Homo-oligomer: A and B are copies of this chain.
Amino acid sequence: MNDLSNLGEFGLIDLIKQDTINDHSSVVVGIGDDAAVVLPTPRQLQLLTADMLVEAIHFDLTTTTPWQLGYKAVAVNLSDIAAMGGAPRHAVVSVALPRSIPVDFVVNLYKGMKEICREFGVNIVGGDTVSSPQGLVINVTVTGEVEPANVVLRSGARPGDVVAVTGNLGSSAAGLDLLQAGEWEDDAFAWPLVTAHLTPRPQVKTGQLLAALGATSMDDVSDGLASEAHEIAKASQVGIKLYSDKIPLAPELAGAAAKFNKQAIDYALFGGEDFQLVFTMEQGKYETLQAEHPELRVIRVGEVVDASEGVTLVDETGQVKKLEPRGFNHFRQEE
C-alpha cells in the first residue's frame, strides 16, 4: 500500500521540498539542513506568527480536501502578517501525520500550501514531519517584514477614529454550519459561504496599503467582529461603537441564517475565520483613502469612542446594546 511507512521520513521530505522557493533572492538554504538560512531585508522589522490546526478541533477531513486544508493552514498565518501591515516572507511547516495516511493525501496537503505560497511570494524553508498516534496536526509559522514606520498594532486606536472592515463578515461561520449539517450542495446560497470557510483569502495587499495610509490599529477577523473590537478596545484603551446595519454581509448569508434559524448578523459578530481586516483610521485619512483608492473595498462599520462607553452595537432601531466579546474560545466550558 502506498502509505507513509513505505516512503519513510526522508522520502517524504524529498517529495515535499519541490517547488517550495518562490523568492530565490532571500533564501540561502531551504529545506534539508538543520535550519533554514534566509536573508532579511535591511532596515525592516521582522514579524513572526504561528497557528496550529488540530484535526477534530479546527477541521474535519470529511468536509475539507487536503489541498484546501493546506491552503487554509498557510492563509490564517498570512492573515496575521496582513493585520500588522507586513509582507509575508517565509513559512516553516510542521505536520504530525497518522502512519496510515496515504502519500497522496500528504502530497495534496503540501500542494495547497505551495499554491498559496506561490500566490503570495512566500517560501517554505523548513519544518518537521513526525508521526501522530491519531489525528493530523499542522503548525505553520510565518515570518514577515514591515517598514518600521508602517507597523500597525492593536493599540493605536484613538477616539474619533473611523472603524472599518475590508469585506463581508460571517460567511465563514455560516459555511461551517453548512459543512457540518451536510447536503449543502443543493443550496444555491451555499457555495460562496463554504468557500469562504475552506479557502479564506488573506488580505495581504490591502493590509500593507492600509498600514501605509495610516491605519491606527488593525486586526484580522479570526474570532468574529465582536471579539476583535474588544481586543482593539482593550489594547488601545478606548471604546468602540459598531452599527449593525453597516456591517457588510454576503447576500448568500440570509439563506444560511434562515436554514439554521439564526440571525445573519450574529454570524458576523460572533462567528469566526473570516480573515478580513478590521482597522481604525483618523476621519480625514479615511476620506482621503476613499477618494484616492476607489479600487479598495473598505466599509465603515463604526467609530472609536471613549473607553467609558465600552464596546457597543447600535441596532437597526437605534438602540445601543453592550456587545459581548464572545467568539470561539478553545478552553471555554461547554454551554
Contact call A33/B139, Cβ cutoff below 8 A = no
Contact call A47/B36, Cβ cutoff below 8 A = yes
Contact call A8/B331, Cβ cutoff below 8 A = yes
* A161: interface (CB < 8 Å): no
Those of A316-330 within 8 Å (CB) of chain B = 329-330
Q: Which residues of B contact A143 (CB under 8 A)?
A: 48, 143
* A17: interface (CB < 8 Å): no
Q: Which residues of B contact A48 (CB under 8 A)?
A: 35-36, 38, 90, 92, 125-126, 141, 143
- Interface size on A (CB < 8 Å)? 78
Identify the closest chain B residue to A88 (Cβ).
Answer: B35
Contact call A331/B12, Cβ cutoff below 8 A = yes
Contact call A54/B96, Cβ cutoff below 8 A = yes
Chain B nearest CB from A139 CB (Å) reads 4
Measured in the bound complex, the distance between the Cα atoms of B76 and A128 in whole Å is 12
Those of A118-158 within 8 Å (CB) of chain B = 125-135, 137, 139, 141, 143-144, 146, 151, 153-155
Contact call A84/B331, Cβ cutoff below 8 A = no
Copies in the complex: 2
Given contacts A38-B48, A80-B35, A94-B51, contact A10 B329 (CB under 8 A): yes
Measured in the bound complex, the distance between the Cα atoms of B35 and A86 in whole Å is 10
Contact call B9/A329, Cβ cutoff below 8 A = yes
Given contacts A34-B219, A54-B130, contact A5 B332 (CB under 8 A): yes
* A49: interface (CB < 8 Å): yes
Contact call B331/A151, Cβ cutoff below 8 A = no
* A52: interface (CB < 8 Å): yes
Those of A31-49 within 8 Å (CB) of chain B = 32-40, 42, 44-49
Chain B nearest CB from A122 CB (Å) reads 13
Q: Which residues of B contact A131 (CB under 8 A)?
A: 54, 57, 330-331
Contact call A49/B34, Cβ cutoff below 8 A = yes
Chain B nearest CB from A78 CB (Å) reads 10
* A220: interface (CB < 8 Å): yes
Other than the known A33-B154, A35-B84, A99-B331, what 6 A-B pairs have Cβ atoms closer than 8 Å?
A35-B80, A35-B81, A36-B49, A48-B143, A52-B139, A97-B331
Given contacts A54-B133, A330-B129, contact A94 B139 (CB under 8 A): yes
* A258: interface (CB < 8 Å): no
Q: Which residues of B contact A154 (CB under 8 A)?
A: 33-34
Measured in the bound complex, the distance between the Cα atoms of B151 and A48 in whole Å is 22
Q: Which residues of B contact A32 (CB under 8 A)?
A: 235
Chain B nearest CB from A95 CB (Å) reads 8
Contact call A29/B153, Cβ cutoff below 8 A = yes
* A83: interface (CB < 8 Å): yes
